[in-house]
Copies of this chain bind each other. A is one copy, B any other.
Amino acid sequence: MITNKNCIIRLSRYKNALYRLQALGFVKVFSDNLADAVGVTASQVRKDFSIFGISGNKKGGYQIDLLLEKLNNILGKDRLQKVIVVGGGHIGSALMRYRGFEKEGIKIIAGFDIDPAKINRSNPVPILPLEEARIFIKTNGIRIAILAVPDIAAQQALDLICAAGIKGVLNFAPLRLKAPESCIVNYVNLEIELENLIYFVNVAEKTE
């Protein structure tokens, strides 16, 4: 079983690159084209494919449409993924207004907020009272949530949605949360991303 997150991220990148190549009219692709497009080595591309039993043609490369089909299958993109957002503040509402997820087969179908002033049932993505989250998650069989509440509320909100059946969370609050076995939590920590960038810029500056 593959536990290598970077490998899966590369699969997503291959997929995105393939769509671009396809849009440019290409029908087949070689491992080194894809490597260039994504910024890895050609060996890495072939190795990644071989891990998932994806094969191409000796001397013929890979047929883009078939490759995309397989990648999409691995990445679970063969069905629409319904996602909710908890917290309709700055980040939460930016995400709910973003159209880019849909072309990836990811649809944010509702937001939830504790603040009555944020509730709006007639939005393209309705924002509902937090009390309704539990039943909404259960009724619609939602598995994935984005957590965009203030730091202080994050653990409590996580507990609530996990209890309701959420299986995966993308958390924007910059702190480590405790989740049950049944739920995977991934972190987007923009402070740390910036700090990291600053570190490497400083290093580059010193060594130049």
**A contact residues vs B (CB 8 Å cutoff):** 1-2, 5, 8-9, 12-13, 16-17, 20, 37-39, 74-77, 81, 83, 90-91, 93-95, 97-98, 100-101, 104, 106, 143-144, 146, 151, 167-170, 174-176, 184, 186, 188, 190-205, 207
* A195 & B12 in contact (Cβ 8 Å cutoff): yes
* B167 & A199 in contact (Cβ 8 Å cutoff): no
The 3 closest A-B pairs by CB, nearest first: A90-B94, A168-B201, A12-B192
* B199 & A193 in contact (Cβ 8 Å cutoff): no
Contact A90 to B98, CB < 8 A, known contacts A193-B186, A198-B144, A201-B144: yes
Alpha-carbon gap, A170 to B76, bound state (A)? 28
6 contacts between A and B (CB under 8 A): A5-B196, A8-B200, A74-B199, A75-B195, A106-B194, A188-B193
Instruction: For the A-B complex with A91-B98, A188-B190 known, give 16 more contacts whose Cβ atoms are closer than 8 Å.
Output: A1-B207, A9-B196, A16-B192, A39-B176, A76-B195, A77-B195, A90-B98, A91-B94, A95-B190, A101-B191, A106-B194, A143-B201, A144-B197, A168-B200, A168-B201, A188-B193
With beta carbons under 8 angstroms apart, the residue of B20, B83, B204 that contacts A167 is B204
